Amino acid sequence: MPRFKIGDTVFVEGRRGTIVWLSENANEIEAMDEYIVEFDNKQTQFVISSTLTANKSQPVHNGEQDTDRCHGQTY
């Protein structure tokens, strides 16, 4: 099973991108998944699973909750 799915947000060398294509190579001696990542500027890059970092949630500061502040509010 691939480590990432199409549509997942990942980081490649510090740049944020989205998985737009994948190929699972489970028959290799060392399983290696291949991906094409599209960046915000529409450039694409072919990468292998070992070069990708998953999207990490932003740290929460000053005791704030990581929620959508508008959600559930009434006016």
The predicted-structure confidence for 8-67, as pLDDT tens digits, reads as follows 999 998 999 999 999 987 776 666 789 999 999 999 999 998 888 776 544 444 444 444
Which domain covers residue 16, as residue numbers? Answer: 9-54
**pLDDT on residue 59:** 43
Residue 30 lies in a domain: yes
Full-model pTM: 0.65
Q: How many structural domains does the chain have?
A: 1
**pLDDT on residue 55:** 66
**pLDDT on residue 46:** 95
**pLDDT on residue 2:** 62
Residue 72 lies in a domain: no
Characterize 29-57 residue by residue with b for buried, 16 or more Cβ atoms within 10 angstroms of its Cβ, and e for exposed. eeeebebbbeeeeeeeeebebeebeeeee
Residue 4 lies in a domain: no
Residue 25 lies in a domain: yes
**φ and ψ at 46, to 5 degrees?**
-85, 130
Name the more confident of 7 and 33.
7
Residue 35 lies in a domain: yes
